[in-house]
Structure 1
Amino acid sequence: MAERMGFFTDTSVCIGCKACQVACKEWNQLPDDGFVFEANSYDNTGALGANTWRHVAFIEQSRPVPLPSDDSADEGVERWLMSSDVCKHCTHAACLDVCPTGALFRTEFGTVVIQEDICNGCGYCVSACPYGVIERREDDGRAWKCTMCYDRQRGGLEPACAKACPTDSIQFGPLDELRERAEERVARLHADGQAEARLYGESPDDGVGGAGAFFLLLDEPEVYGLPPDPVVTTRDLPSMWRWAGAAALSVAGAVVAAFAGSGAFTGSRKGRRR
């Protein structure tokens, strides 16, 4: 297997240009989103979906600003937080666990990809994803999400979004190297007085075993629409199957004991001897 590859998205240098979003749509030939304005500010796409595999979020944070004419105050924009969201390509991917057709698979680069020609549109992966990344298209019912440009990786190229990013907010490479780079970046930001800088999704000890696409954030994950403590939704499946198996054996044993106690088997044998 090849070295595991991933994304490190440094939101502190994102300028919201949407070059990643456009490059993703162009390379993967994704359809438009219907040109319906679904969000606030310049965040025109609203969220990740079947036709949007990179989503640039704009978060306007405001504070009361005194008006010069009187003692009242008005809301003024304190800062914009911008972040390019994407599928996390989890280490422990619930979407892989629940897919009944094998449409989802883990590539040699450690990423998670949906094979659209095998997907039957059951939607199990949609509900299993702890990040709400996967969605089905209305026209064909199949599930779609970021592939981390698997075709480009196989050709020795970086994903289109990282290639197009003008500020290196989106960085692509070996996951271990990206984690080291991210920790150094956070340390520099802390030294510069940005104590709120933190990493999200980089730890192998989190609820999904670490993400293949992780982020540097300048506020709480919830501010960016990310779950604070994501957990693989299929974590309890092994114990559930064990309990179900034990329960089935108990029921079978009880049925056998009931028949034996009623003499049903003995009676049928006596009937044959006559």
Structure 2
Amino acid sequence: MQRMGFFTDTTLCIGCKACEVACKQWNQLPDDGFHFTGMSYDNTGMLGASTWRHVAFVERAAELPGQGSPRDGVEGGARAFGELFPAGQPGPTSLLGHDIQPTHLETPVALGPTERALGKFSWLMLSDVCKHCERAGCLEACPTGAIVRTEFGSVYVQPDVCNGCGYCVSACPFGVVDRREEDGRAWKCTLCYDRLKGGMVPACAKACPTASIQFGELEDLRARARRCVEQLHARGVAEAHLYGEDAASQPGTEGLHAFFLLCDRPEVYNLPPDPVVPTAKVVRSWRSMAAGVLSLAALAMGAVFSARRA
């Protein structure tokens, strides 16, 4: 078995959504509706039956380490604009289309809320996808054998076998699997299984213009990802870490075949911090139930002996 997968470097994502478009085009997925969502630039909202790649836009009231203009004169980060241009001092009347260096020709003005906030603002972008877990809850929960592990290590839902029971939906700790309203069957990313069979790269990875989405053999991707983290740490981005790289970092699923480089806590990216496949707790549940039954039996026996003595 070739263990293939995705390594997504969120520090390279520019939010262009080329991966979303390529995924929908190749897999002939229906649109998600052409209506205003009010969710910034995130018109698709989340992964679903018709969205197998989703680019999340996370707005933060904090700057990234190393963010800012080199003209700030501060190594490793930028100062807030309020520090650069304090109230009553020469400063730009608008930060859009102007050089941020103060000049004697500009009128002294107090900074507005937007200008003050721009110094502590950053985007985090993440192209999310099915994780193709090493231990997949959807696969273990499927009663019909519709979900299988392919020769590439990916988790594939066979639409002609799926009966729409929905067990896989509740068994996925990432909320990836979804049922289509038209037929009730479950759908998710296939890792472009048809393209892999033809020796091609998945559509999303091929379309990504910044190499944020990288596809390849898992061990090679993991080595590459660790080097990226080391480089970011050397540049002062101490928050950089890998999410779901292996069983050690993701024990609840024994590792992911689509893992990520993040620069903040997983919850910020709408990823669960400690996902666990439901079936992983089956043994513990049976032990708890057995302990409960034994306790009840002991109490019953105690009650019987007490009644006899009385």
TM-score of the superposed pair, with normalisation by structure 2: 0.74
Question: Partner amino acid for 2:193?
Answer: Y
- Residue equivalent to 1:20: 19
**Does 1:123 pair with 2:166?**
yes
Q: 2:136 aligns with which of 93, 96, 113?
A: 93
- Residue equivalent to 2:255: 210
Q: Which moved more, 1:39-48 or 1:120-129?
A: 39-48
- Give the alignment of 1:64-79 within 5 angstroms: 66=82, 68=87, 69-70=109-110, 73-74=113-114, 76-77=117-118, 78-79=121-122
Distance across 1 between alignment mates of 2:113 and 2:27? 47
How far did residue 65 of structure 1 move?
6.4
Count how many residue pairs are aligned between Structure 1 and Structure 2.
247
Distance across 1 between alignment mates of 2:187 and 2:256? 19
Distance across 2 between alignment mates of 1:119 and 1:242? 32
Q: 1:132 aligns with which of 160, 169, 175?
A: 175
Question: Partner amino acid for 1:137?
Answer: R
- Residue equivalent to 1:33: 32
- Residue equivalent to 2:229: 186
- Extract unaligned runs of 5+ from structure 2: 63-79, 88-108, 294-310
Distance across 1 between alignment mates of 2:8 and 2:291? 46
Deviations 1:5-56 (A, max 9, x none): 0000001011111110000000000000112333521111110000000001
How far did residue 245 of structure 1 move?
9.4
Greater share of strand residues, 1 or 2? 1
Distance verdict in 2 for CA 1:240–1:220, change over 3 Å: closer
Q: 1:227 aligns with which of 272, 280, 287?
A: 272
How far did residue 71 of structure 1 move?
8.0
SS of the counterpart of 1:8?
strand
How far did residue 246 of structure 1 move?
11
Distance across 2 between alignment mates of 1:43 and 1:246? 48
Distance across 1 between alignment mates of 2:282 and 2:35? 39
- Give the alignment of 1:253-268 within 5 angstroms: none
- Residue equivalent to 2:239: 196
Q: Which moved more, 1:117-126 or 1:72-81?
A: 72-81
Distance verdict in 2 for CA 1:185–1:62, change over 3 Å: same
Q: 1:165 aligns with which of 203, 208, 211?
A: 208
Q: Which moved more, 1:64-73 or 1:43-52?
A: 64-73
Question: Partner amino acid for 1:116?
Answer: P
Q: 2:154 aligns with which of 97, 100, 111?
A: 111
Q: Which moved more, 1:153-162 or 1:237-246?
A: 237-246
Q: Are 1:158 and 1:172, in contact at CA under 8 Å, matched by a contact in 2?
A: yes
Distance verdict in 2 for CA 1:36–1:128, change over 3 Å: farther
Q: Which moved more, 1:19-28 or 1:227-236?
A: 227-236
- Residue equivalent to 2:49: 50
Q: Are 1:27 and 1:160, in contact at CA under 8 Å, matched by a contact in 2?
A: yes
Q: Which moved more, 1:231-240 or 1:108-117?
A: 231-240
TM-score of the superposed pair, with normalisation by structure 1: 0.84
Distance verdict in 2 for CA 1:71–1:79, change over 3 Å: closer
Deviations 1:98-127 (A, max 9, x none): 101111000011100101111111111001
How far did residue 237 of structure 1 move?
2.4
Q: Are 1:65 and 1:73, in contact at CA under 8 Å, matched by a contact in 2?
A: no
How far did residue 231 of structure 1 move?
0.9
